[in-house]
Amino acid sequence: MGMFNWTERSESALARGGVIGPDERLPWGATTVMGVQHLIAMFGATVLAPILMGFDPNVAVLMSGVGTLIFFVATGGKVPSYLGSSFAFIGVVMAASGYSGPGPNANLAVALGGIVACGLLYTLIGAVVHATGTGWIERFMPPVVTGSVVAVIGLNLAHIPIKNMAATGFDAWMQAITFVSVALVAVFTKGMVQRLLILMGLIVASVVYAVLTNGMGLGKPLDLSGVANAAWLGMPNFSTPTFSANAMLLIAPVAIILVAENLGHIKAVTAMTGKDLDRYMGRAFMGDGVATMVSASAGGTGVTTYAENIGVMAATKIYSTAVFLVAACMAVLLGFSPKFGALIQAIPLPVMGGVSIVVFGLIAIAGAKIWVDNKVDFADNKNLLVAAITLVLGTGDFTLKFGEFALGGIGTATFGAIALYALLNRRAA
């Protein structure tokens, strides 16, 4: 099969500063190590998103692996990308299911039905793009719009760690220690440790937490009894969706955000590799859409191409799709380990909150980076007002009600940005 035909390159080519393209690979040993790194890069966010929505993190990790395999097949093994839990769903899932955390989401099934509807809409958009090209999407969603929408995803979520994940003064200080730990790892370390900044920061902060609570009695002690008692192997807690019109109408529009994310990611990888991946755009959207439907059908989160993994590719200059095949297979294996799930659940809530502050902030900055990379001109009032209004709609959670149906902050910001740009752009035309 064509999708498994990689040209093998020696590690010495990499040592000389060479680039490993999507259709090339390092020897399998090095490819496996790179797969582990990508697995860890996507890990923090892929596990964090389900915890924030009350989903089972084991199922989410398993379905991220399955989803990445679906995406790999859909794109013929030509587009290097890992599919992990999308943060774009958090706000609408919380609204649709009435979840405010922590612990399992009692209305999980309703949220899953909405995510399946979103995956279907996304797949249909992908089919249209495959048939007609990407020009019309780029016309509706220029960089000022996509940058604003991506920034809003992070800003809309900012209140979650700050309001919901720090019950006491000690917890708030612990969040601060966590985000400072991540920042120190990001700036003062090198090589693999620096690439694993979220994971390393989380480990450092968890150790500090254990010293301060278990050792000095300052807060709720770290409890690892669940990890000790969990089995090494076992089935995840699968769930099935139920379909409610209100939840589907609320969650399906997230497809627009996923399109913006995926479009941006493929453009980024095209720029980095010098290989034109635009012709795979429709197939990438359909792969992501089908992966989202399959994931939600089993109790997993909606999935999207991951910026974290693009960051790793940019740092390592290794764009081989073989790496993502390895990472996906490992994620599937981890999904069947309750011990791994228990370890994730044991992470103290304020430490998770500190990591969330970093991750949500990075999403917001990724939106700003889209503006910078595309040289968006804010001297033009059209761009200035689209960005300004979109950011406040999303951050302030501006909600519009249509009878029983309510469109919350991320939805109003997404549709508002597209509609406002289309309206204001008429003058230019």
pLDDT at res. 13: 57
Query: Where are any strands of DSSP class E within 300-350?
Result: 303-305
- Percentage, residues of the chain above pLDDT 90: 15
Q: Identify the residue with better confidence: 180 or 5.
A: 180
In the beta sheet, which residues pair with residue 400? Answer: 407
pLDDT at res. 1: 45
Distances (CA, A) of 53 to 281, 305, 340, 383: 29, 19, 19, 33
Per residue in 120-174, pLDDT tens? 999 999 999 999 887 887 788 888 988 888 788 778 778 777 877 777 888 888 8
Token pair of 303 as six digits:
């999935």
Distances (CA, A) of 187 to 111, 180, 196: 38, 11, 12
Query: Closest Cα partner for 152 from 257, 264, 288, 44?
Result: 257
Per residue in 258-287, pLDDT tens? 887 787 777 777 777 777 787 888 999 999
Q: Could you tell me if 409 and 159 are in contact, meaning their C-beta atoms sit under 8 angstroms apart? A: no
Question: pLDDT band at residue 293, thresholds of 50, 70 and 90?
Answer: very high
pLDDT at res. 401: 76
Alpha-carbon Rg for the chain, nearest whole angstrom, is: 21
Q: Give 81-143 as a DSSP string.
A: --EEE-GGGHHHHHHHHT---SS--TTHHHHHHHHHHHHHHHHHHHHHHHHH-SHHHHHHS-H
